[in-house]
Structure 1
Amino acid sequence: MNNRTRWLVLVLVLGVAGVVALWPRDKSPEPPPTSTRPTQDVAALRAQAQLRACVPGSEGGVDVTCLGDGTRTALALKGPMLINFWATWCQPCQEELPVLETYAKQPGAVPVVPVLVESRETDGLELLARLGVRLPSVYDGADELRKRVKAPMTLPATYYVTADGAVRQVTDPPRFTAPEQVEKAVR
């Protein structure tokens, strides 16, 4: 092998090494953020949020955390009920939650259960308090409920559970802007 060939091989090897070093790699998903707040702060946030009590758990339900008191409960997919998946970083969710609160206060309204996902529990409590939303809300940190109903990763995502337990996604409208839309969706 002559000198010129050696230099060519060396340049080629260094070029390939450079490409490999700079090639983008898939990052493994990061675990959901955990709260760094002391426990007493969570209790204060719960008191500030003043959420209504969660429905007691039932056998066969999905294990979630009641945001109002921090207890674990099994949320059964027994209706009629409206389930709304939301996150604190989701602006459309922040606009939709007060609409759901207004609807839920109407006589004969179907129970509404907001389900916090992809956010910290403490951040969810702060947002609900700021928005004045007092609905009995749950935290699905493990995404078990969202997996059970096969909910998409896009938010907000709302599901109507019928009296016989059938679950259907509400897509018209894709996001509620008025209580009348909620009423129409649960008929």
Structure 2
Amino acid sequence: MSDSPDPGETRTTERSRLRLSTSARWTLAALIVVIALIVAIWPRSSPDPAPAPSGVSTDSTGTVPGLQASVSDDDMIKAREKAGLQPCPAEPGPAPEGSALKGVSVPCLADGSTVDLGAATAGKPMLVNVWAHWCGPCRAELPVIADYAEQAGDRIRVLTVQGKEGSENVFLSLNLLAEIGVDLPTVVDPDAKIAAALGIPRVYPATVLVRADGTVAAVLPTVFDSVDEVSAVVDKYLGVAA
């Protein structure tokens, strides 16, 4: 017949196990804290630089002119020659008194000259398309706007605008236009003067239809997928059939 375990001895063993379990938990918690501190102070390598925008060539060092480095005058001359943009509108002026663009002067992307838009666009209805070189939908829409301009001919003036967001790097704007084969007259809106004057929301792309007297007929923050779509809204708001 076996001896029964002593009750006092059993309770002592259970307390020892409990103390061991509690001690193990505190040890584990301390270990986690130490590992977290090591991770926090461990030296990290620098992140990889952002990839170049699509269609932008880089030099032997991987530098993208206009994005990661300043652009030389020679780079800009070559970019403008490659883009081959049509001249910005001349200044028949003066701007009509009620013109939304009266007194708005901005740089011409083709040559860097200053254009008085109110005077330069007076007397003819106009389609203004605002875009940015980093905007995917703009890349798709600009050729549609160019095809519409060719179809409409002299019945309407078509002007594109590199918006404020992206105007810091017009080298990339020229690069985009050269890549997609769009040579429409283009101005730059670095201070958002055009956007403010025409009431354009901060979305890209956006199209504004302007009457011959310079007043705004419609602001259309939308993407056009076809020439027929552009023709339809121009006919609706300006009465100009392409």
TM-score, with length taken from structure 2? 0.59
Distance in 2 (alpha carbons) for counterparts of 1:133 and 1:36: 25
| 1:142 CA displacement | 1.0
Determine if the alignment matches structure 1 residue 125 to structure 2 residue 174.
Answer: yes
* Count of aligned positions: 154
Match among 138, 160, 180 for residue 114 of structure 1: 160
Distance in 1 (alpha carbons) for counterparts of 2:70 and 2:216: 36
Which residue number in structure 1 is paired with residue 74 of structure 2?
Answer: 40
TM-score, with length taken from structure 1? 0.76
Alignment check: 8 A CA contact 1:116 1:137 kept? yes
Determine if the alignment matches structure 1 residue 65 to structure 2 residue 99.
Answer: no
Structure (1 or 2) with the larger CA radius of gyration: 2
By percentage of residues, which structure has more helix? 2
**CA distances 1:17-63 after superposition (whole Å, capped 9, x unpaired):** xxxxxxxxxxxxxxxx8971001111110000000111124453411
**Structure 2 unaligned blocks of 5 or more:** 1-66, 95-101, 236-242
Determine if the alignment matches structure 1 residue 81 to structure 2 residue 126.
Answer: yes
**Cα 1:45/1:141, change in 2 over 3 Å:** same
**CA distances 1:135-176 after superposition (whole Å, capped 9, x unpaired):** 0111111111111111100111100001232213343x8211
Which residue number in structure 2 is paired with residue 97 of structure 1?
Answer: 142
| 1:182 CA displacement | 1.2
Which residue number in structure 2 is paired with residue 8 of structure 1?
Answer: none
Alignment check: 8 A CA contact 1:110 1:186 kept? no
Q: Please state whether the residue corresponding to 1:125 is helix, strand or coil.
A: helix
Percent of matched pairs sharing the same residue? 38
Determine if the alignment matches structure 1 residue 151 to structure 2 residue 196.
Answer: no
Distance in 2 (alpha carbons) for counterparts of 1:90 and 1:178: 18
Greater shift after overlay, 155-164 or 45-54?
A: 155-164
Q: Please state whether the residue corresponding to 1:133 is helix, strand or coil.
A: coil
Alignment check: 8 A CA contact 2:200 2:219 kept? no
Larger RCO (CA under 8 A, 6+ residues apart): 1
**CA distances 1:85-122 after superposition (whole Å, capped 9, x unpaired):** 10011111111100001111114452211100111211
